[in-house]
Chains A and B, each alone.
Chain A
Amino acid sequence: MTYCTQFDALAEAAALGGPREARALDAHVATCAACAAEAVLADDASDLVDVLAPLRAEVCPPAVVTAALRDARRTARPPVRAARTFSRLRVATLAFAVTLVVGLALRLSLASPAEVALDRTDAPALEVATAETGAPLVELSTPAPDAPAADPTDKPDEPVKVDVAPPDPAPERVAAAAAPRLRPTLTSATVPPPDPAPTASDTLAAVHGLRLALAVVRDARREGLAAVAPELGRPQVALASSISELP
């Protein structure tokens, strides 16, 4: 049989070239009579089918199948794991954000007007207001559950005994200077007694009130010390240290 020689050349070019060479080969085969005759011959039953029968007995080694399945599952696993990790991170971030927002909302809602007012109050302003009205601005006679209630009839505190050497310590003047400062804010009770289950707002108000009262006491003590220190001829720091050592 005479083969189409042009097919050989085009087939070689197609094998080495790109799509353009392949299209040229296909165009030639579609119109070439000799190639069409070869194509008809290819439809005949091949005598090589039986000859090649031993090749059909080849089977894939089981180890190859096992390794392929293992590789396929291993390569398919990381995206799933990454997705789970990402999902967990997303849930954790969302939970953190929700907690943050809820915490801020609670904090803002618990900041009552009384608390805000107390935050803005300082000791000098309290003194001025007290001097003008004659009554304490903040009346905190509500005692702590385990603390003794303040009695309006109580006598002034014991005079501050200053362990100093002569000259005359003049304890009366120390008491006169300190007592009015120590007394007035812990008197009349206008705050109702705490509920058996006080709310958070009540608790915050009580804490701020107590803090303010302590500030007033500290301020009074400081001013009292400032008043008596020149008379005693001792620095305020030494007097404060001596007072703190009293029983």
Chain B
Amino acid sequence: MSSDALVRQYADFAYRVALGVTGGEADAADATQEALVSIWRHGADVPAERMRAWVARVARNAALDLIRRRSVRPQPLAGEALPDPACPAPGPDALSEAGDVRRELAAALERLGEPFRSLVVLRDVEGLTYDEIAETLSLPLTTVKVYLHRGRARLRAALTASVPDLVPQ
């Protein structure tokens, strides 16, 4: 597969990983661009069975590097301010639009922190196997599972607090 084809094939995947880490579309786009350049250069040398884990690691590292360089916290989606946690949770009507749901999910993920955020995104959004996640994050398998279990619990609690109708009871 050519380098261009690799970039096009994994662009959405890398973008979603970066978006899950940064929480902002602009930062995710910048991180994805850097990740895609790396994929274009080195992707042909990576075995196919390890490609998803490798791309996820490249995109995540690019996003984390971007956050470190800017020394700022991840920006909210579309430049909109995050809802005040002290405010009462909006009703279902307020979240009727998909964009609002997406922003709420991104905000909840952002509050998870690393590495819980990356684990939840890689597993429950992108569907990577535990082994792939362990390779991506360079963590033992059991540690990955513990992190994931706790990350899910935190995310569930965050969504229950902000969007209670979104989380099944």
Measured CB to CB, the residues of A under 8 A from B are 3, 7, 11, 15, 22, 25-26, 29-30, 35-36, 38-43, 46-49, 51-52, 54-61, 63-65, 67-69, 71-72, 75-76
Contact = CB atoms under 8 A, between A and B. Distances in A.
A46 B150 contact: no
Contact of A67 (B16, B19, B33): B33
Q: What is the interface residue range for chain B against chain A?
A: 35 or more
Contacts of B124: 46, 48-49, 52
Interface string B42-66: 0000000000000000000000000
Contact of B7 (A22, A25, A54, A68): A68
A33 to B, nearest CB: 12
Contacts of A67: 33
A237 to B, nearest CB: 82
A71 B29 CA distance: 14
Nearest to A67: B33
A56 B125 contact: yes
Interface of B: 3-4, 7-8, 11-12, 14-16, 19-20, 29, 32-34, 36-37, 40-41, 98, 101-102, 105-106, 114-115, 120-121, 123-126, 139-140, 142-143, 145-150, 152, 155-156, 159, 166-168
Which 8 A-B pairs rank lowest in CB-CB distance, beginning with the nearest? A68-B36, A60-B15, A39-B145, A72-B40, A42-B145, A42-B149, A60-B11, A38-B149
